[in-house]
Amino acid sequence: MNILIVEDERIIAQRLERFIRAGLGSKLHVLQTAPSLSAARLQVYDRPWDLVFLDLNLKGRDGFELLQDAVASSFHTVVVSAYTDRAFEAFQYGVFDFIGKPFDEDRVAKTLNTFLSNQRGQSNTRTLAVKKGRDLKLIPLEDVLFIKAANTYSELHLVSGEQELHSKGLEQLGRVLPNDWVRVHKSYFVPQSRIQSWAAAPGSSYKVILTGNIEIPVSRRRYMAFKQTWLA
C-alpha cells in the first residue's frame, strides 16, 4: 500500500507515520510525508497512492480547495483535522474518513482496517468532484442517474444525458457512495430511489429499469441478493 501524509506539523506527521507503520506492518509499501502544499502537489504524481492523509489546515489556511482536488483523484482521502465541525462537509464531498485531532493509535488503526477490509467508508457523499483538464467540476450526486465502470475510471451518467469521467475506478468510487447506491452489476452502480422495476430478460439475464425507461443489466448473483432486499 502506498500512503502519503500531507501535514505541516512535523511532530503530528511523525505520529501519523508511527501509527500507520504499526497498523499496516508489511502491507505498507511506501509511506511519504509532504510538509507543505507545494510539496504535496509534486509528490502526488510520484506513484499511484492508495490513501492520502490530508491536514485541511496547512499553515493556518483553509485547505478545502485542496480537498476537492483530492477527492476527484484516483486515491482515497482521509482528512485529519482539528476542525471536527467540518467533518460533515468533508464527508459530503466524498472523503473516505475523517480523523479529528487529537487522535490516538486506535483511531488510525480503525481507518486502516476499514480500508483494508474493502468496506465502505464513513462518507455521506452528496457531491462528486470531477477533474476536467486543470479545472474541477462539482456534480451533485442527485443529478447522477447511474455510474458505469470504464476501465480504471468510472462514467457518471447524468440525468441531463451528459457523461462525466471520474478518476476513481468503480470499485473505489463505490466505497464513498452513500448506502442507497447499490451495485447491481460488476460494472454498474444505481441509486435505489431511481429503480422502477426489475425484470428477467430472455436468456436468463436480468435487468432493472430506472426512471426514464433506462435499462441496466443485473448480474445473477446480485439479482438474487437484490431480490431478497427488494422483497424483504
Partner 1 sequence: MHRTSVKRIVIVAAGLIGLGTLLSSLSTHWGRTDRPERARVRAGDQMVWKDPAFDDSDWLTYSAWQRLTGPYQGNLWLRQPLKLGDDPSVNTFVLVAVGSSEVYFDGELIGRNGVVGDSRDTEVPGSLLFMCSIPGHLLKPGDHEVALRFSNHRGISRFYLLGAGIGSIQDVVSFTRRTLFPFLFLSVFLVVALYFFVLYALNRQQASHLAFASLCGLTGLLLFVESIRSFGYPYHWHGHRLYLVMILSGILAGLVPLFFILHHGLSRRWLIGIPAALLVGAAMFHRSLDQVSFGFFTCAFIYAQAVVCFAFLKEKTDSWIGLLGINQALIVLALTRLTFLEQWLFGCFTLLIVLMLISLSLQSRRQRAQFQEARLRSARLQIELLQKHLQPHFMLNTLTAVMEWLEREPKAGVAFVGLLAQEMKTLNRFSSQTLVSLEEELRLCRNHLEILAYRNGEEYPFQTVCENPDLEVPPAIILTLVENGVSYALDEGTLQFEMRQRITPTGRVHIDFKAVGVDIHIGEADDGTGSKYIKARLEESFPGRWRLNASGNEQTWVTNIEFEGGP
Give the DSSP letter of residue 177: S
- Chosen residue from 1, 2, 9, 127 binding partner 1 by CB under 8 A: 9
82 binds partner 1 (CB under 8 A): yes
42 binds partner 1 (CB under 8 A): no
Burial class (CB within 10 angstroms; exposed 0-12, middle 13-18, buried 19+) of 188: buried
Instruction: Tell me if 184 sits within 8 A of 222, measured CB to CB.
Output: yes
CB of 176 to partner 1, least distance (A): 25
64 binds partner 1 (CB under 8 A): no
227 binds partner 1 (CB under 8 A): no
- Chosen residue from 28, 35, 92, 155 binding partner 1 by CB under 8 A: 35
- Chosen residue from 4, 5, 6, 15 binding partner 1 by CB under 8 A: 15
Helix, strand, coil tally for the chain in percent (to 5)? 35, 35, 30
| CB atoms near residue 47 (< 10 Å) | 12
117 binds partner 1 (CB under 8 A): no
- Per DSSP, helices labelled H in 3-139 are 10-24, 37-43, 64-71, 87-92, 105-116
Rounded Cα distance, 43 and 38, in Å: 9
For partner 1, which is the closer residue by CB, 9 or 89? 9
CB of 76 to partner 1, least distance (A): 22
CB of 26 to partner 1, least distance (A): 23
198 binds partner 1 (CB under 8 A): no
Q: Which residues contact 151 (CB under 8 A, 6 or more apart)?
A: 169
- Chosen residue from 10, 47, 132, 221 binding partner 1 by CB under 8 A: 10
Rounded Cα distance, 170 and 179, in Å: 15
Residue type, 124: N
- Chosen residue from 31, 50, 101, 114 binding partner 1 by CB under 8 A: 101
> Which residues in this chain contact partner 1 in the complex, by CB under 8 A?
8-12, 14-15, 35-39, 57, 59-61, 82-84, 100-104
